[in-house]
Amino acid sequence: MEDMSDLIIFIQNYQLMYAKYDINTLEHNIDRLSLRNLLKTQVLTVEFCRKYILHPEEYAMCNEDHYISKEDIVIYQPHITLEQLNSKK
């Protein structure tokens, strides 16, 4: 029997509004997902936001993705604080 935790799921932007995905799946699909849609529909980690959401020059899919601020992250991810985003950890 195969270990299901190692399976990679391919997802598209429209699927984000219908289900929550784990961070590994989101990272694997980052090049096909809108950062803004990710921010609004998924539960993200501070590390994910720092690595992807705050680097639209590398990961943006559309113009909207370039205008995401740290304040937007705090609004759509209420479990994340500005202090955490600004921390160097």
CA torsion through residues 30, 70, 79, 64, sign: negative
| pTM of this structure | 0.88
Q: What is the pLDDT of residues 19-46, one digit of tens each?
A: 999 999 999 999 999 999 999 999 999 9
pLDDT band at 88 (very low <50, low <70, confident <90, very high): confident
Buried b (16+ CB within 10 A) or exposed e, 11-44: bebeebeeeebeeebbeebbeebbbbbbbebbeb
Q: What per-residue confidence (pLDDT) applies to 89?
A: 65
